[in-house]
Structure 1
Amino acid sequence: MQLNLSIPALLFPAISLTMLAYNARYLAIAALIRQLHKQFNETADSPLKRQIDSLRKRLGIIKNMQASAIISFLLSAITMFLIYVELNVWANIIFGISLVFLMISLVLSLIEVQLSTKALGIQLKNMEE
């Protein structure tokens, strides 16, 4: 495949939007943690402990999602530079690595969504009881 500047450039808006979505998820979880912290200080409830454990895992996953997306973004920029200086073999290799990091980020996002759904299930179960 012939790699030109427009191919890695196509990833820029996709990765940027992905990072915005990840940041929104992070901010939502941060607000929830602050709310749960206040509740936990008032009552050390067992369901709150499970939610806190879930949030701790989710924060770690989101951190890795963001890191993977940023690495993908950086490698796409490096790819465009390598194409510019006509190091096409290296550009192809770096672009492939960039795509791998983007896929890792998306898989982590899927895992985080699953954990988020599970956490909501815990809250619904508590409300039913």
Structure 2
Amino acid sequence: MTLNIETPALLFSATSLILLAYTNRFLTIAQIVRGLKKTYDMEHNKSILIEIKNLNLRLTLIRYMQLFGVLSLFLSVFGMLVLFVEWQLIGIYIFGASMLCLLASLGISFWEISISVNALRVHLSDLIEKDKTN
């Protein structure tokens, strides 16, 4: 089995875009947490504290998404280097590890999105209840 040096390079554009999306999610959630913390400091509302804990979990997941994404990119570059010096078998294993890291990153991303969707449903549930009573 042989692997061309171009094959690991295929992950570059996809991984770069994914990391950019993860960073945007992180920055948005961090901004929301800062605003909620200010509100909580003034009001001490328990629901705000629950929301902050939910967002904290999401920030942790995004950190792991970024970690595995960066590791995937690093292993892709390292795999290309190994293939450049014509160590085929090692290059294949490194590229396989790179794809596994990308898969882990995407799986964690799905988990984080699921948490986000559930949180939005909770927010919208009171509107749905009000709509049913009218």
Using the size of structure 1 for normalisation, the TM-score is 0.94
Larger displacement relative to structure 2 (37-46 or 100-109):
37-46
The residue aligned with 2:114 is 114
How big is the shift at 1:126?
A: 5.2
Provide the rounded CA distance (Å) in 1 between the counterparts of 2:119 and 2:32.
12
Which residue type is aligned with residue 120 of structure 1?
L
Q: Which runs of 5+ in 1 are unaligned?
A: none
> By how many angstroms is 1:2 displaced?
2.4
- Consecutive aligned runs of 4 or more in structure 1 exceeding 6 Å deviation: none
Q: Closer, same or farther in 2 for the Cα pair 1:46/1:56, shift >3 Å? A: same
Question: Aligned runs of 1:1-129 on 2, under 5 Å?
Answer: 1-125=1-125
Find the aligned partners of 2:77 and 2:14 in 1 and give their Cα distance: 13
Is the Cα–Cα contact under 8 Å of residues 9 and 80 in structure 1 kept in the other structure? yes
Contact 1:61–1:108, Cα closer than 8 Å, also in 2: yes
What CA distance in whole angstroms lies between the structure 1 residues aligned with 2:90 and 2:2? 13
Taking a change above 3 Å as real, the CA distance of residues 47 and 118 of structure 1, as seen in their structure-2 partners, is: same
How many aligned positions are there?
129
Q: Which runs of 5+ in 2 are unaligned?
A: none
What is the alpha-carbon root mean square deviation over aligned residues? 1.4
Separation in 2, partners of 1:126, 1:64: 32
Q: What letter matches 1:70 in structure 2?
A: V
CA contact (8 A) 1:75 1:98 kept: yes
Alpha-carbon distance in structure 1 between the residues aligned to 2:12 and 2:6 = 10
**2: CA distance, partners of 1:5 / 1:18:** 22
The offset of 1:124, in angstroms, is 2.4
| Distance in 2, Cα, partners of 1:85 & 1:77 | 13
Equivalent pairs: percent with the same residue? 37
Deviations 1:32-57 (A, max 9, x none): 00110111112111211111110111
